[in-house]
Amino acid sequence: MSGSFRYDGVAVFLHWLTAVAIIALLAMGLIMTDLPKGSALQFSMFQMHKSVGISVLVLTLLRLAWRLAHRPPALPDDMPAWEKAAAHAGHLVLYLLLLGLPFSGWALVSASPFNIPTVLFGVLAWPHLPILSTLADKKPVAEALEDLHSAAAWVLIALLVVHIGAALRHHFLLKDDVLRRMLPRFSPSSRSANP
Ligand code: HEM
């Protein structure tokens, strides 16, 4: 348990790696579903989307394990209680989406009647989920999971807008350490007056 004002290096690394992966996944997801059906480009974007998406699932499990073993820095003392509660609730829902979204993606490809294998980054065969891959009538289940995956992605986008907006508000309006504590240490702006 440390009283440091910032997150440790592993937490910071996993946070920004996840952030880059999520932006890429959202962009790929929105672009690839508009490409001509069955085109080679659509196929390779689906494979890349699935590869990065499963990586986010694994990264999030690692992140949660790290988070449970390492206490995060305390929020500023002068932050109102409702804002602290809102921040914790928002982070909890973000974690749920970071697990639920990739899981629903995995489920939808498992239930797909097209039965397309997932090969992570072209090298590692990733299995379909049992039960879903052996359903007699896959189509309605796959369609419902596609709708769920898409709806969850839009909820994530909305929550990211709030998350990023809150971080920028703390940094530029309230001028506290809330964003700085999640910035990599080599960044000049990550130096705090009260380390
Ligand atoms: C955090 C992780 C993920 C995010 C943020 C994400 C995001 C998205 C988005 C925005 C779309 C477009 C939805 C729409 O049409 O409106 C999409 C579609 C899709 N995603 Fe993901 N995804 C994630 C993980 C995964 C994983 C792990 C898989 C599979 C292993 C996957 C498989 C798919 C497939 C197959 C589609 C196309 C569905 C369709 O044909 O309508 N996704 N995803």
Is 100 a pocket residue for ligand 1 (Cβ < 6 Å)?
Answer: no
What's the domain range around 163?
9-186
The kind and range of the H/E element at 27 are helix 9-32
Inside any domain, residue 90: yes
Q: How many domains does the chain have?
A: 1
Length of the chain in residues, anyone?
195
pLDDT digits (tens, 9 = 90+) for 147-183: 999 999 999 999 999 999 999 999 999 999 999 999 9
Q: Which stretches of the chain are DSSP H helices?
A: 9-32, 40-69, 81-111, 138-168
> How far does residue 86's CA lie from ligand 1's centre (Å)?
27
Inside any domain, residue 47: yes
Is 157 a pocket residue for ligand 1 (Cβ < 6 Å)?
Answer: no
> How far does residue 21's CA lie from ligand 1's centre (Å)?
12
> How far does residue 7's CA lie from ligand 1's centre (Å)?
30
pLDDT digits (tens, 9 = 90+) for 30-56: 999 999 999 999 999 999 999 999 999
Inside any domain, residue 129: yes
> How far does residue 149's CA lie from ligand 1's centre (Å)?
6
Q: Which residue minimizes the CA distance to atom 19 of ligand 1?
A: 29
- CATH number at 16 reads 1.20.950.20
Q: 21-25, 57-61, 112-116, 191-195: lowest mean pLDDT where?
A: 191-195
Give the separation between CA 10 and CA 103, rounded to whole angstroms.
24
